[in-house]
């Protein structure tokens, strides 16, 4: 993949210098210069419109700092890799707090710039492959659960399921308005639809996109082999229903990461 670059610097000579460096390293570090901006607003508009892979970003910008710009990029749909190119070394820590991949000090050496671009391009390629694989896995999985109810077979869309809870030899499937019983194991469902559902305790899977938060409460908590016992524990809050599901200590770090 040839990365598409976007230069952001309020000084025209600095942008020209970067373009010269990029031209010098074109053979060893293939890339495409997708555009440039001299102001924060132009940068926001350009990145949103062009969706470059990598932004070469100055720190000192009028109206909005490069740190603030990088944070805004991360909130958008494009989310490019950011390499800071600046004359000031005191912002390095803040740069990495907004997930910058590198921090280059002016005057930038050609070899150092090439190294930073290659690293960023390699990371983007790896992330793209992971996203594509996850998307393919979800698309290839089933779209419905088959439910038998009163002499008929219903198809319940996977996207409508809020949680699945094991009870005796059945699994309760819960949507916003109904509960159904299915004869499948949580383990097999988790193996097939792990991108859609997350385990919150030994007996329950919850739709990832149905989780709106967590709260403390008293509930029957999975004792991880010791049976269930009532105690104060974190519970998951789900969209559209008032019911809360307890989170086991083992699964708490997983769920916490989803609501961070």
CATH number of 144-259: 2.40.50.1020
**59 closest CA partner among 88, 37, 96:** 88
**What is the reported pLDDT for 230?**
58
Q: Which residue has the tokens 């004869």?
A: 183
For residues 165 and 203, the answer to whether their CB atoms sit within 8 Å is yes
Question: Which pLDDT does position 36 carry in this prediction?
Answer: 97
* Helix (H), strand (E), coil (C) string for 171-203: EEEECCCCEEEECCCHHHHHHHHCCCEEEEECC
Which residue spans of the chain are classified as CATH 3.40.50.2300? 4-138
The pLDDT value given to residue 178: 94
Which residues touch 140 (CB under 8 Å, ≥6 apart)? none
Instruction: Answer whether 84's CB lies under 8 Å from 61's CB.
Output: no
* Helix ranges (DSSP H) in the chain: 12-24, 40-50, 66-75, 92-97, 110-140, 186-193, 252-259
Cβ neighbours of residue 15 closer than 8 Å, sequence gap 6 or more: 7, 9, 36, 38
At residue 135, the pLDDT reads 54
In words, the CATH class of domain 4-138 is alpha beta
**Tens digit of each residue's pLDDT, the chain (260 residues):** 799 999 999 999 999 999 999 999 999 999 999 999 999 999 999 999 999 999 999 998 888 999 999 999 988 777 899 999 999 888 888 888 888 889 999 999 999 999 999 999 988 777 666 555 555 555 566 889 988 887 788 899 999 999 999 988 899 999 999 999 998 999 999 998 999 999 999 999 999 999 999 988 876 555 555 555 556 789 999 999 999 999 998 899 899 888 77
Residue 164 pLDDT: 96
Where does CATH 2.40.50.1020 sit in the chain? Answer: 144-259
């Amino acid at each position: 993949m040839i990365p598409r670059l976007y230069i952001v610097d309020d000084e025209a000579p600095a942008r020209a210098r970067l373009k010269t460096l990029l031209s010098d390293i074109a053979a060893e570090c293939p890339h495409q210069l997708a555009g440039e901006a001299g102001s924060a607003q132009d940068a926001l508009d350009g990145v949103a419109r062009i969706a470059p892979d990598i932004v070469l970003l100055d720190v000192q910008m009028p109206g909005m700092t490069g740190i603030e710009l990088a944070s805004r990029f991360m909130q958008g749909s494009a989310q490019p890799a950011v390499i800071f190119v600046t004359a000031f070394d005191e912002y390095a820590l803040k740069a990495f707090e907004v997930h910058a991949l590198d921090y280059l000090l002016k005057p930038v050496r050609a070899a150092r710039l090439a190294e930073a671009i290659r690293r960023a391009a390699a990371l983007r390629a790896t992330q793209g492959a992971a996203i594509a694989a996850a998307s393919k896995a979800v698309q290839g999985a089933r779209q419905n659960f088959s439910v038998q109810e009163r002499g008929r077979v219903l198809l319940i869309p996977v996207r409508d399921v809020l949680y699945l809870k094991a009870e005796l030899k059945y699994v309760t499937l819960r949507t916003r308005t109904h509960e159904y019983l299915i004869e499948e194991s949580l383990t097999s469902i988790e193996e097939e639809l792990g991108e859609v559902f997350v385990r919150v305790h030994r007996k329950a899977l919850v739709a990832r996109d149905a989780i709106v938060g967590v709260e403390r409460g008293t509930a029957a908590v999975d004792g991880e082999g010791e049976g269930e016992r009532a105690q104060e524990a974190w519970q998951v809050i789900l969209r559209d229903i008032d019911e809360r599901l307890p989170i086991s200590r083992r699964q708490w770090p997983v769920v916490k990461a989803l609501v961070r």
